[in-house]
Structure 1
Amino acid sequence: MPVTQHLTHTPAQPTLAPHHVHKHNPAEVLLTGYDTLRPDTYTVTAQWPTHHPFYTPTPHLNDPLLFIETIRQCFPLLAHNAYHLPHGHHLIWQYLTADINPHAMHHTPHHPTHLTLYITCSDIRRRQNGHLTALTLHAIALRNGTHLGTAQTRFSAHSPTIYQRIRGNHPQTPTTPPPPTHPTHVGRHHPHDVVLSPTPHPHHWTLRNDTTHPTLFDHPVDHTPGMLLLEAARQATHATHHHNNHNHNHNHNHHTALNTGASPEPTTVTATGTATATLTRTPTRTPRLTTPPTPPPYPTHIHATFLQFLEYTTPTHITTTTQPGPDTGPSATTTGTTTGTTTTHITATQNNQTAFTSTITTTPHP
């Protein structure tokens, strides 16, 4: 039998107080309460807003990182309330693995989305004084009884004294982020939501740490937030697909123009001798070569490992490689595009050291 709910809410206060999930802005809180089912097993309820200013829906589907942020908020909620970790202790992300069912992620623009998460905590570590130092969180999320996703993640916890010993002295003066890449290349609508800056090299970007961003930097932190790194991985995945598809469509259109006898450009021929004549040959017919826009591929599996702190005052480099999935179409090996799943490997380096890695598997948009 469930025990009495530790945290409750009323219709006038649908979400928990921000400090329970390490947020300052109440609008960023996604969790509404939790119950203890038995030791180390809990249910957590969540509500997604109809419109979030940053985790905006893709066509007809909720943002997959909205699910990741929901999982992230579960850790401080349970660490402080179920495991009595004092407020002021620092939580450090170690890894995350999540699988998402896109068919349960449909966006309802006129009604909030309600979730129930069944959570089990394991590999729980404590100090001699009883304070929590680490645990692994396993979550199963349901939406109206439909399986929405699963996640496993691990955090460590440190007192302010130990955290200061780990971090040492580091600059915290914000710097002006480099210019953003084009928003549509990374699946965004507004430049201020772009976390990647272009470089001359394909599949290579510089991370943008915009400390004025109201969601990613909801409160002051002394390093690049984990959710910013996950957003960078997602945007880099989108940009990689955009680059591959752009090259494929360009090559396809050029090949089609040649095969139809149409010249891609008007041709000018100049003859010289006793007289000079210029002949301009215009193609007799120019095919209309347009590619209808297609929704971006949707992330269904996300794995991330946080290896070390990333300083937002030091340049961070993001690179990607891709690997077609087993159910790809015949054009995958020649064009770099797939008709099935594709796995993108993302790496973040700083000072020539790997600090963050991620893999994101995407499928065609349902």
Structure 2
Amino acid sequence: MPEISVVPPHTPRTKTEGRRRVTKESVHLVREDKVLLTGWRRLKDGEFSLTARWPTPPVGLPYDPRVLTQTIRQSGLAVAHAAYGVPLTHQTLLHHFDFTVVPDFRVTPQGSSPLGVEITVFEPKKRGRSVSSLGMDFRVLLGGTLVARADSEFGWISPAAYRRLRGEHLTDDWNTWPLPLPVDPHTVGRATGREVVLAPGDDRHRWRLRNDVENDLLYDHPVDHVPGLVLMEAAGQAAHAALHPRAFEPTTVTNAFDLYAEFDRPCWIDVEVVPSAAPGEISVLVTATQSGQSVFRGRLSGPCD
């Protein structure tokens, strides 16, 4: 788990390359307006600096966790393709995605907010001539002050290997699955039903995942499985629903991806609220299962009023 305290708020670094533009293709997006990164440069071997711009957060939220996780995702992909030569045709695998946010982190509601992202890459692994995985440590800075830290491991496989791995699921028809009605948006910290990824289940601590592709912050283009960021968003919404009407602001989040979540059958989101090791905090354990198998596990911890 990334620790905020071990990194100084800001360490000046020597610029070794000019800042370069981040293209939508390098972050696997179709829509240009969804690219949050505004540039990147290499500081030295294994060290990179990126700039980003965040939209105004939704009313009532200190910041939008979907934008934070999307920024981390885009940063990792941009560096992998531009600096390590990972082919754009290769499929990305996400093994884990953990992050910590400083308590009381707030984004100003007036206008968009410029941020910096610093990345340290470690343990690059190769399969043949291509990079097969990269471990990355991310530091997100607002006004030069560290506000979030994340670590993740990105992996890649060739198109041929991915076809063998996915089999019949590679050609599932896009957006033909049933879309159950959403839960009340306010119970999960969202403003509209389109943003809600949970439908009612058969227990107060169980929900069914709903994949509404009109939610363009989570679905930019057709894919053959439920994106990892959707499962992370489902975990966050389930934690809020389990604790509603109490206010919950998780500051530490861990996520592990076990299997691909498919569109063609129900995916169930279950939560358990447990005491946290930190005084004044609680933790919510989230498990996503499909056909009796775990596809995702998450833990969200933070203060709860």
Q: Which has the higher contact order (CA 8 A, sep 6+)?
A: 2
Query: Are 1:183 and 2:182 an aligned pair?
Result: no
Report how many aligned residue pairs link the two structures.
289
Residue 204 of structure 1 corresponds to 206
Residue 52 of structure 2 corresponds to 46
Query: Are 1:325 and 2:267 an aligned pair?
Result: no
Letter in 2 for 1:48: W
Equivalent residue for 1:2, pick from 2, 5, 15: 15
Greater Rg, structure 1 or structure 2? 1
Residue 218 of structure 2 corresponds to 216
Equivalent residue for 1:29, pick from 35, 53, 59: 35
Q: CA deviation at 1:214?
A: 1.8
Normalised to the residue count of structure 1, the TM-score between the two structures is 0.75
Letter in 2 for 1:96: F
Residue 233 of structure 2 corresponds to 231
Residue 5 of structure 2 corresponds to none
Residue 8 of structure 2 corresponds to none
Residue 108 of structure 1 corresponds to 108
Residue 6 of structure 2 corresponds to none
How far apart, in 2, do the equivalents of 1:347 and 1:93 lie? 17
Deviations 1:113-150 (CA, angstroms, capped at 9, x unpaired): 1111221111111122x211101110112111211011
Percentage identity across paired residues of the two chains:
32
Letter in 2 for 1:228: V
Letter in 2 for 1:50: T
Q: CA RMSD in A?
A: 1.7
Q: CA deviation at 1:47?
A: 1.0
Question: Residue 236 of structure 1 aligns to a residue in which SS?
Answer: helix
Q: CA deviation at 1:362?
A: 2.3
Residue 118 of structure 1 corresponds to 118
Residue 89 of structure 1 corresponds to 90
Question: Residue 346 of structure 1 aligns to a residue in which SS?
Answer: strand
Deviates more, 1:74-83 or 1:319-328: 319-328
Letter in 1 for 2:172: Q
Letter in 2 for 1:116: G
Gaps of 5+ in 2: 1-13
How far apart, in 1, do the equivalents of 2:97 and 2:289 lie? 19
How far apart, in 2, do the equivalents of 1:57 and 1:361 lie? 23
Q: CA deviation at 1:200?
A: 2.6
Question: Residue 169 of structure 1 aligns to a residue in which SS?
Answer: helix
Letter in 1 for 2:264: T
Letter in 2 for 1:46: A
From the superposition, tell whether residues 46 and 310 of structure 1 become closer, same or farther in structure 2 (CA, over 3 Å): same
Q: Does the CA contact (< 8 Å) of 1:196 and 1:208 recur in 2? A: yes
Gaps of 5+ in 1: 9-15, 246-293, 329-339
Residue 24 of structure 2 corresponds to 18
